[in-house]
A and B are shown apart, each in its own frame.
Chain A
């Protein structure tokens, strides 16, 4: 065996082991949660409210609060994120010196620990704007946290489209609104969805930013101004503060993971429906 051949084999071995290690860790974590979460899992877990600090009962109110917070977050993130992404990616918008400033701010925001967003949301939304500790405050705080990631990924996916699309649209006298609405955003859909999946994943996993903003009561929220507890906070609370809460913590984690997979799958399915996706393959 030549030296080069040995080196190639060693490199291949290292690469494969690294891959196997990641796969192993993933299987171990997910497997552990599925194994423990499924033991004694009943459908009633999804339809009953928590009882006895979460040791007993289910997670109905927690699921509701999580869904509402995510919806608030999405309702803010999507329009602002797309518009800002377009602003940063569009060469005709001529952001001039403003665009780099926005980009720099976003990158800085992306690196800020989430607990800081929590304090900010508490000070500004809960107290200054009087939204109290509520679903609304939590959703808005999450939106600010997720926006930097979503905007940059929206910018990237729009930038990856050939400039010739924009030129051809201009040559046909199409307005920028038509160009983005009917041509660029559909064409960038796969990238946009990937950004959204990442953003929603972060939002679902968040605890630190939410404790001071949406709170941790387990009551079923009746309006956006009620406070509520998300799945992640429920897991945190059960694991940390409630002796004997481990079983339900694992069940909740199982639900959280399945929810993540479901969101991922749904957005990918949506992407596949668009003709742009089919053509880019």
Chain B
């Protein structure tokens, strides 16, 4: 039996801003149907690397990405023929929930109609299914026309998750998705991520080590050297948490540094 290619395979990826590298030489492999945690101190380029995976930083002036990225065994350009398709299949959730200042319904409908065309019934169906999948349907079913910004922080983040899931992504990038939320709301999101990993590959940037321990199947540990980030160690979560090879990983996971 042939081994299925990983959901994400990067080779020697670097991201630079105005010629100054933020991360460099990142070679990583993230399997499908798993939660892949990226941990490390802030400023070591985790967000920059994550944004390179769906080319979100190509619109940042002065930002340049080098190296190879393969998704499900195909070069990025072949995996998704255009940027819209890439963003649909490789979704991104940010640290602060970003509901658009519109109704809950419009927040869901705008991306759905953008990608699947204007079809009332299909749109309503996708909207309902996605809201159900994040456990928000029961809470907002009767007030879909309420401004999305009136939801609580946790609800807003679940709305953003639903908005992305409605587009049926195969990879979900999450940049510290719970760090702006209270523990209860964060717990709900964590539960959702655990459910989602049966359907897609998740890449979760977090500097909450306890969260990584609870959720991660693989861990990639970023550290700083010569003013830019690099991967100090990566592998199955068990190995990194219990028997890390590198001194710096041992110190970091023991809580001595970072």
Contact = CB atoms under 8 A, between A and B. Distances in A.
A165 B91 CA distance: 15
B158 interface: no
A273 interface: no
A167 B97 CA distance: 12
Contacts of B87: 170-173
Given A164-B94, A171-B87, A173-B85, A92 B59 contact: yes
Contacts of A92: 59
B92 interface: yes
Interface in A156-210: 162, 164-165, 167-175, 178, 182-183, 186-187
B155 to A, nearest CB: 15
A279 interface: yes
A168 B98 CA distance: 7
A279 B94 contact: no
Counting chain B CB atoms within 10 Å of each CB, the highest count among A164, A172, A178 belongs to: A172
Interface string B54-96: 1010010100000000000000000000011111100110101
B56 A275 contact: no
A168 B61 contact: no
Nearest to A94: B61
A104 interface: no
Contacts of A186: 101-102
Contacts, number: 80
B150 A279 contact: yes
B160 interface: yes
Contacts of A278: 147
B110 A183 contact: yes
Contacts of A264: none
Counting chain B CB atoms within 10 Å of each CB, the highest count among A165, A168, A175 belongs to: A168
Interface in B104-121: 106, 110-111, 114-115
B163 interface: yes
B101 A279 contact: yes
A148 B154 CA distance: 43
B167 interface: yes
Contacts of A280: 101
Contacts of B115: 173
B103 interface: yes
Contact of A173 (B94, B114, B160): B114
B59 A171 contact: no
Counting chain A CB atoms within 10 Å of each CB, the highest count among B100, B102, B149 belongs to: B100
A167 B56 contact: yes
B94 A187 contact: no
29 contacts: A92-B59, A165-B98, A167-B56, A168-B94, A169-B100, A170-B59, A170-B87, A171-B56, A172-B87, A172-B88, A172-B110, A172-B163, A173-B85, A173-B88, A173-B115, A174-B111, A182-B106, A182-B110, A183-B100, A183-B101, A183-B102, A186-B101, A186-B102, A187-B100, A187-B102, A275-B103, A275-B147, A276-B102, A279-B150
